[in-house]
Structure 1
Amino acid sequence: MSKRARVRAPELQGRSWINTGGKELSLADFRGRTLVLDFWTFCCINCLHVLDELRELEEKHRDTVVIIGVHSPKFVHEADHRAVVDAVERYEVHHPVLDDPELATWKQYAVRAWPTLVVIDPEGYVVAQHAGEGHAHALARLVQELEEEHAAKGTLRRGDGPYVPPEPVASDLRFPGKVLALPGGTFLVSDSTRHQLVELAADGESVVRRIGGGGRGFGPDAFSEPQGLALLPDGRVIVADTVNHALRTYDPVSGVIETVAGTGRQWWQGSPTAGPAREVDLSSPWDVAWWADRVWIAMAGVHQLWTYDPATGTVEAAAGTTNEGLVDGPAAEAWFAQPSGLAADPAGGRLWVADSETSALRYVERDEATGGFAVRTAVGTGLFDFGHRDGAAGQALFQHPLGVTALPDGSVAVADTYNHALRRYDPASGEVSTLATDLREPSDAVLVGDDILVVESARHRLTRLRLPDEAVRVESVAHRTQRAATEVAPGALRLDIVFTAPTGQKLDTRYGPSTRLLVSATPPGLLADGAGAGTELSRDLVLADGVTEGVLHVSAMAASCDDDPLNEYPACHVHQQDWGVPVRVGADGVSRLGLVLAGLDDA
């Protein structure tokens, strides 16, 4: 991350502040401190990764650095102030957050993607901006340089930050994620914010026992924001230990917790995607399901499905390319966008997937032609369309669903999280209906006889509902993401990915090109030329005649290594970012689109 020209930082504007004890803040309050603005939205798994990356920096430089979260929503639900307050607690954000539902500060800082980090020096000047995740090392170096520079100049001010923690709330569960029915009639719940599993009695309310020490960790008695749960044939429960990037097993009889997959480190591009399970990195596993004689993993962090085979002790990527979007077809070629819920149908023919960022219900099935697997979409159209609309599957809409539950009749219940609803898709009729509304961020459900037990995550409880014979009818609502489209000129469009290796690093070209660029579009007909993969970070695109709007999907990667001739074993770093850029074609539009992959210099 390299420094930029000295540009005065724009003022912070938004609806209100969170984690400040009710105090309104301005840039003047941070003079003398290094300020890191984290532009995020709570639906975004990459944003959640950055929150975790910032924890060490926040603790180490607590007296000289202030991190400010700028919450910039994608979905309509994320503009609800109460939902933002909940997310700040849910993900243990221990710094002030500016709630910016109108994207005022986002626009002032010319942000184009979630997440984006902006560094402001103690004198109030923007010195670096970076989109994406995985840059904790470079950010730590820049912060240290700024601390030394401004201590020498006398412009550094040490002291306590403006963070004021909220009052703790007593409850048996706190933002629970997933639920599993145990053979004895009790229920196991992932109590995500408290980093525990909780066994509840048959009433779904009384606590039988807590599993895990209750603090964030990665040990024999510790989890970190656990989510998905599934029963293995041998009676153990497999747990998606999400922020530990691992799969754990819990034996309800002995109480033993073991790590069966993952290293505790996050997977990055270029890392192995198959091998001994304890030696392969994972990335934010969000849900698990037993299907086709193995554990399937909703690998939300890399937009893929992986599998874990307990018989061989191995993992492998099973579906998805790591590119974010909605593309069906052979499993290895399909695109997902943060898959977060899994359920095997009773007949075993399909694995249902809640693909949250595309607001889609999808499934995996056997491909008879190849003998492998194929991915299909039942409901959903892509990254930017969402809402609450019942009816034919081709027209129906969800809003960021996190859970799916297979029903006995072959239909599927969908925890339609940001619509606060439980929905149903019937493959026989091709219709979507609403089963229940007024649920607060439902994230999973499990069948209990003729009832369904729903995880109301933001109400911190399980809610029992009778499965109705007839679905509830609601007024249809459709939305597109509120991010403004970029006006582009018809015809030729120059795409430039601006990448500057962080200070002290250089591009790693020892084994060939160290950069990659992948471009596609929705609809595909938006691009007459320029789609596909290549190694150059610039490309000439040609927009097709007659298509006036769409989305450019851009995925860029660059690898850099420490540039120190005295270091015999330099560390290497992969920088990757995916963009979905809404564009509108017009005569007054731009003919060049520039996207920043890493720290940008004055050029």
Structure 2
Amino acid sequence: MGRADRAKIKAPDFPSGLVWYNTRRPISLKELRGKVVLLDFWSYCCINCLHGISDLGRLEEKYPNEIVVIGVHSAKFNAEQKEENIRRAIMRHGIRYPVVNDKDLLIWHLYDIRAWPSFALIDPDGNLIGISAGEGIYESFSTIIDSIIQEYDREGKINRSPIQFEPETLPVIDSFLSFPGKVLAVESSNHLFIADTNHHRIIMATLDELAVQMIIGQGEAGFRDGNFMIAQFNHPQGMAAHGDFLYVADTENHAIRQVDLKNRQVITLAGNGRQARRINSGYGLTIPLNSPWDLVFHQGYLYIAMAGFHQIWQLRLKDGFIEPYAGSGREGLIDGKLKGAALAQPSGITTDGEKLYFADSESSSIRSADLPPQDTVSTIVGRDLFVFGDQDGEGNSVLLQHPMGVVFEQGYLYVADTYNNKIKRINIKKRTCETLFGAGVEGLRDGAGQETLFNEPEGLSIAKGQLYIADTNNHVIRKADLETNTVKTISFTGLDAYQQAAAALKE
């Protein structure tokens, strides 16, 4: 951490006129005298920022009356500047401390911030102690905060009076899902699987009748193997199926889980529930992972979009060996050899059997990685970390905005262009992109083509000519008929009957 306290630099206060969340009124640093204040400069697109939320929670638990955390949401993407989008992100990630919308980067520039995430530490006199960038803030800040509290305790300047904030609340929604992140349609078994992400469970329904057959996981965040009634996940995302098994990217458990659909058991294949800080390879449970977001099965391997490491990994199912497959771990958009390429938070992955295709979210691009024996990462559409927009066309003229879902079908890639609230189609050979569904603004509306509305869709899957869409911020699953070019919102049946049967089993 860079030190600023020798010069006793006063921390800049918050400009007026900004939108605040989790509090009834704007906050000033002056009213927080006597508290240690920690400013978190973040954006909800950024996986490294999301990792910091749990560390901030640990600091709040350790110093419940001594520190105040304030999130300064500093948008990278246009979609992240919108008030309602930030409010949803705050609720989605369980943030309870105050957050200010710094959409024009006013506070960012006052503190001379250069990267996401960054943290500014302010002492009880309102002086800027220093600024630190990157992850691992609990370890970085805990000792420093200890010393600040001890120093100001000796002077009688610590204010331990509790401060009550007012967390945002979700409006009542007519859906049994909460921020569903991914969806998987399996034509061979007639199943539709849904990652009910914020309910920490997997929903299994029939593909033809859309009737709920099974709920996998007890619905409370945790990390527990066992039968479907007791198993626990933590914000599960992408899924893949092979035979009688479903594989799940258990994102916030930093683990890959295997669901035995025949025997109704969940086990852990890789990861130990803790976020990895360094890149390693090895066997199964001995190797910590870093926010696996999606996965695809191919010839005995799971290929994993390891968003937290900006890499693609592979898990050999016959013996559990897991290792990086593509990407150096450096965030960026650099093509080339598999291990030397730079990726940027891959969040969706699919395959045609010869290549892996992935949604490289932070570079707003769709890219490919060769399967053996070839050895190259290439970009199909997209340009760089800070080049994004909403433009159809060909090659380098195409602009996306933080795409998170991709699925292959007959020479095309269907893309969830998440922050543009659209579903697009890319011709792989021609590198052309066209919008199929979505008007480009947030909403929930069925209909034909671009008259439809979505709200940050994140997951896609195809079966029987139907495109299934996890419309994440609308808390629903949509179905697009690729022949008639129409979209409708799915109404699932059988949920009440299943829940009653499950409750009876618990008694």
Offset at residue 458 of structure 1 (A): 0.5
One-letter code of the match for 2:472?
S
One-letter identity of the residue aligned with 2:467: I
2:459 partner SS: strand
SS in 1 for 2:458: strand
Identity of aligned residues (%): 36
Which among 391, 395, 398 is matched to residue 397 of structure 2? 395
Say whether 1:85 aligns with 2:92. Answer: no
Q: 2:370 aligns with which of 365, 374, 378?
A: 365
The equivalent of 1:354 in structure 2 is 359
Could you say if the C-alpha distance between residues 325 and 375 of structure 1 is closer, same or farther in structure 2, counting changes exceeding 3 Å? same
For 1:303-452, list aligned pairs within 5 A.
303-345=310-352, 348-366=353-371, 371-407=373-409, 409-437=410-438, 438-452=453-467
Residue type matched to 1:267 in 2? A
What is the aligned partner in structure 2 of residue 284 from structure 1?
Answer: 291
**Offset at 1:92?**
1.1
Mapped to 1, the partners of 2:313 and 2:297 lie a distance apart of: 12
- Native 8 Å contact 1:204 1:462 kept in 2: no
Cα separation, 2, equivalents of 1:26 and 1:387: 35
Q: Deviations over 1:574-593 (max 9, x none)?
A: xxxxxxxxxxxxxxxxxxxx
User: Cα RMSD between the aligned structures?
Assistant: 2.0
CA distance in 2, matches of 1:334, 1:92: 34
Shift of 1:128: 2.0
Match of 1:4? 4
**One-letter code aligned to 1:252:** L
Q: Residue 283 of structure 1 contacts residue 300 of structure 1 at CA under 8 Å; is this kept in 2?
A: yes
Q: Residue 199 of structure 1 is aligned with which of 183, 200, 204?
A: 204
Within-5 A mapping of 1:67-86? 67-86=69-88
Q: Which residue, out of 265, 273, 276, partners 1:267?
A: 276
Question: CA shift at 1:141, angstroms?
Answer: 1.3
Report the alpha carbon displacement of residue 121 of structure 1 after superposing the two structures with TM. 1.1
Tell me which residue corresponds to 2:250: 241
How far residue 196 of structure 1 moved from its aligned partner, in angstroms, is: 1.9
Question: How much has 1:395 moved relative to structure 2?
Answer: 1.0
**Structure 1: any 5+ residue segments left out of the alignment?**
473-603
- Quick check: 1:451–1:464 contact (8 Å CA) kept in 2? yes
Q: 1:111 to 1:471 in 2, by over 3 A?
A: farther
Q: Is the 8 A contact 2:480 2:486 kept in 1?
A: no
More strand by share: 1
Residue 414 of structure 1 and its aligned partner are, at CA, apart by 0.3
Q: 2:473 is matched with which residue? A: 458
Change (3 A) 1:323 1:172: same
CA spacing shift, 1:471–1:191, aligned 2, 3 Å: closer
1:409-558 equivalent positions in 2, closer than 5 A: 409-437=410-438, 438-467=453-482
How has the CA–CA distance of structure 1 residues 411 and 110 changed in structure 2, closer, same or farther, with 3 Å as cutoff? same
> Deviations for 1:444-492, whole angstroms, at most 9, x for unmatched residues?
11123222111100100001122257899xxxxxxxxxxxxxxxxxxxx
For residues 159 and 176 of structure 1, what CA distance do their matches in structure 2 show?
39
Match of 2:139 among 134, 137, 140: 137
Matched residue SS, 1:332: coil
In the alignment, is residue 257 of structure 1 matched against residue 266 of structure 2? yes
Distance 2:169 2:431 in 1: 47
**In structure 2, what residue type is equivalent to 1:228?**
G
Shift in CA distance, 158/200, structure 1 to aligned 2, threshold 3 Å? farther
Alignment partners' CA distance in 2, 1:318 and 1:111: 33
User: Is residue 55 of structure 1 aligned with residue 57 of structure 2?
Assistant: yes
For 1:146, give the aligned amino acid.
Answer: I
Provide the rounded CA distance (Å) in 2 between the counterparts of 1:203 and 1:146.
Answer: 62
Whether 1:175 aligns to 2:179 is yes
Q: Which residue of 2 aligns with 1:532?
A: none
Distance 1:101 1:2, change over 3 A: closer
Greater percentage in helix: 2
Instruction: State the secondary structure of the residue aligned to 1:385.
Output: coil
1: distance between equivalents of 2:213 and 2:32? 47
Matched, 1:185 2:186: no
Cα deviation digits, residues 358-415 of structure 1 (max 9, x gap): 1000111246xxx3432111101111111111111221111000000112x2101000
TM-fit CA distance, 1:313: 1.2
Given candidates 199, 204, 215, the residue that maps to 2:220 is 215
SS of the counterpart of 1:148? helix
Separation in structure 1 between the aligned mates of residue 232 and residue 161 of structure 2, nearest angstrom: 33
C-alpha change, 1:162 and 1:111, in structure 2 (3 Å) is farther
- Give distance in 1, aligned partners of 2:56 and 2:96: 10
For residue 386 of structure 1, give the secondary structure of its aligned residue in structure 2: coil
Indicate which of 296, 306, 309 corresponds to 2:303.
Answer: 296
Give, in whole Å, the separation in 1 of the partners of 2:207 and 2:286: 38
The separation in 1 between residues aligned to 2:209 and 2:197, in whole angstroms, is 17
Deviations 1:511-538 (A, max 9, x none): xxxxxxxxxxxxxxxxxxxxxxxxxxxx
Partner of 1:107 in structure 2?
Answer: 109
Distance in 2 between residues matched to 1:378 and 1:106, nearest whole Å: 33
- Residue 3 of structure 2 contacts residue 129 of structure 2 at CA under 8 Å; is this kept in 1? yes
Q: TM-score, normalised by structure 1?
A: 0.74
Structure 2 residue matching 1:387: 3-state secondary structure: coil
Instruction: Report SS of the residue matched to 1:193.
Output: helix
Partner in structure 2 of residue 531 of structure 1: none
